[in-house]
Amino acid sequence: MTALTRIQSRTARFRLRAVRPGLVAVALLFAVGCSDSPEPTAASPEATPAVRRDLPGIPPDTLFLRAVDFERPTLTGVPFRLADTRGEVVLVNVWATWCLPCAVETPDLVALHGELRDQGVRFVGVSVDEGGFDDVRPFAEQYGIDYPLVLDDGTFLDPYGGSVALPTTLLIDRDGVVRYRLRGLTSQEQLRPLLQGLLAEAPSNS
């Protein structure tokens, strides 16, 4: 090995060591999710699928907690009441417009909603944006979100372990029981079998 080759090799290793912490930080951001502190970011809908496929999903938490009923106005003005969804499977996605992992997973949520909404699955997005619907509306239009969007009053996730990371997604069965909690970035591939499993379960008579 020549002297020049040894210098180039050492330089390459130094650059790799310098870049690796940044790559790890980005991977953790997408795997775990955002913190609760808004730090505005931007994501292109066209770029998100490639990013998502390169990142593993965190295994869901298995819960058996009675979902707390709520009624709130939606972006379109039509009230959404959780109790009205009894007998259906419900996906509740808690998110924010400034959360990059939230933007990354949104195209998957929109696509999965279109696939499963006629099979008895309801989606609702719960935004924690401090700017309210003024912040939510442009994001919803950009990503073509066609499921109901409501605003969080800061307490929505309290009965389910609190807000650890955004996004957080809850899956509720036909009896109104929260069965799964997914904290951090998720995808169609992770959500579809969970939702289909809940659909296959017959509701109880209670």
More confidently predicted of 135 and 49: 135
Quick check: 22 pLDDT over 70? Answer: no
Residues 130-158 have a mean pLDDT of 95
27 in a domain, yes or no? no
Question: How many C-beta neighbours within 10 Å does residue 162 have?
Answer: 10
In contact, 38 and 62? CB cutoff 8 Å = no
Burial 25-54 (b: 16+ CB within 10 A, else e): eeeebbebbbeeebeeeebeeeebeebbee
Residues 106 and 172: their CA atoms lie apart, in Å, by 19
Residues spanned by the domain of 88: 48-200
| pLDDT at residue number 8 | 37
- Arithmetic mean of pLDDT, 114-142: 97
| CATH assignment at residue 146 | 3.40.30.10
Percent of the chain with pLDDT over 90: 63
Helix, strand, coil % over all residues of the chain, rounded to 5? 40, 20, 35
Q: pTM (2 decimals)?
A: 0.77
What local confidence, expressed as pLDDT, does residue 61 receive?
86
Gyration radius of the chain over CA positions: 20
Does 21 reside within a domain? no
Say which DSSP state 174 is in. Answer: T
Q: What is the pLDDT of residue 154?
A: 78
Report the 10 Å Cβ neighbour count for 182.
24
- Domain annotation covers residue 89: yes
**DSSP-based three-state secondary structure for 3:** helix
In this prediction, residues 109-125 reach a mean pLDDT of 97
Burial label, 57 (beta-carbon count in 10 A; 0-12, 13-18, 19+): middle
**Total structural domains within the chain:** 1
Residue 159 belongs to some domain of the structure: yes
Q: What percent of the chain has pLDDT over 70?
A: 72
Residue 112 inside a domain? The answer is: yes
Residue 43 lies in a domain: no
Domain contains 147 = yes
pLDDT at 120 over 70: yes
pLDDT of residue 163: 75
The answer to the question of residue 29 being in a domain is: no
